[in-house]
Amino acid sequence: MRSAEPARAGVPRWEITVPSRRGRLPGVVMAGFSDRANELRDVALVPHPAVTVIFDLGDQPFVIEDGCGSQQRERVVAGLAPNRARGRGLASSSECLQLRLSPMVAHAVLGASAELGGTVVTLDDLWGREAARTQERLRAAGSWEDRFAIAEAALARRADAGRAVDPEVAFSWGRMVASRGRVRVERLVAEIGWSRKRLWSRFRAQVGLTPKRVAQLIRFDHAVHGLAAGRSASLVAAESGYADQSHLHRDVMAFAGMTPTSVAVSPFLALDDVAWPTARGSGG
């Protein structure tokens, strides 16, 4: 196990803990967040190509909301590319466990996919009473390592009982991740032997977004992390397959609601690098 705090100026001083060993479930990564700074939090959640599950374990509620005014707390699921999502609240004695699930895993574990595209919902709607029972066990656990084990066991039970995505959908997802979102849908259609309409329909139903939108999201994710690493917008645009810098600007504004200059210093991306330094582009 390791813990760290981002050193960047203006970044919330979270203590971040990650598991000491690789998890048994591919496509799942976890991180624990703790803060005793008693600061008011208002953090824009930069979209990421994973479904995020958040268990709030602190004394004060931390609310996750999207750009449509929907607010959730306690046990929250943020689907792929939620619309202008933000985390808000008083971080007094704040703790939360965050899980990032590949859409391939999320389909089985959460029992929903199309419903999660671009939305923020409560885990209770998907897991029923098991969501609250899992949170109670997490609160009672004596260490982050125990919490990671509890969460992994809950996910494994759901994964065993859930339905896997179509092999063709999993293959298409893997190709998109490997190409950093630059593979063309026409090529995927040719490789899997489906019609474009069938791929569009099955992918949307099982992942939550269309293949084109997911490819854009994966490309955007690599681009904004390049910006956060200090590379210029022109270089990132060229490396990420954008037609030009203005094309990159439009995509960043569409996904994150901020300019490339602003997203490069986003507190969320600083936390992201510490909490999930090796998880970017994971398959599963």
Domain ranges of the chain: 2-163, 167-269
Output the pLDDT for position 236.
Answer: 96
Question: Could you please report the per-residue DSSP string of 5-69?
Answer: ---STT----EEEE-SS--SSTTEEEEEEEE-S-PEEEEE----SSEEEEEE-SSS--EEE-TTS
> What is the predicted pLDDT for the residue at 29?
93
Q: What is the predicted pLDDT for the residue at 248?
A: 96
pLDDT tens, position by position, for the chain (284 residues)? 444 444 454 455 678 899 988 888 889 999 998 876 655 567 788 999 999 999 999 877 778 887 777 778 789 998 888 877 877 765 556 788 999 999 999 999 998 776 777 788 899 999 999 999 999 999 999 899 999 999 999 999 999 999 999 999 999 999 999 999 999 989 999 999 999 999 999 999 999 999 999 999 999 999 999 999 999 999 999 999 999 999 999 999 999 989 999 999 888 888 887 888 765 545 55
Domain 167-269: CATH superfamily is Homeodomain-like (1.10.10.60)
Distance, first Cα to last Cα, the chain:
23
Q: What are phi and psi of 51, to 5 degrees?
A: -90, 130
Q: Which two tokens stand for residue 278?
A: 């090796």
Q: Report how far Cα 151 is from the mean position of its chain's Cα atoms.
A: 16
Task: Please give the pLDDT value at position 275.
Answer: 84
With a threshold of 0.85, does the pTM exceed it? yes
The CATH code of the domain at 2-163 is 2.60.120.10
CA distance 150 to 154: 6
Beta strands in the chain (DSSP E): 2-4, 15-18, 28-35, 40-44, 51-56, 63-65, 71-72, 75-78, 86-90, 94-101, 120-122
Q: What pLDDT shows up at residue 5?
A: 47
pLDDT for the residue numbered 281? 46
Say what the pLDDT of residue 93 is.
Answer: 64
Q: What is the pLDDT of residue 118?
A: 79
100 bridge partner residues: 29, 52
What pLDDT does 165 receive? 93
Give the pairing type, strands 63-65 and 86-90.
Answer: antiparallel
> pLDDT at position 86, please?
79
Strand partners, 51: 101
How many whole angstroms separate alpha carbon 271 and alpha carbon 15? 10
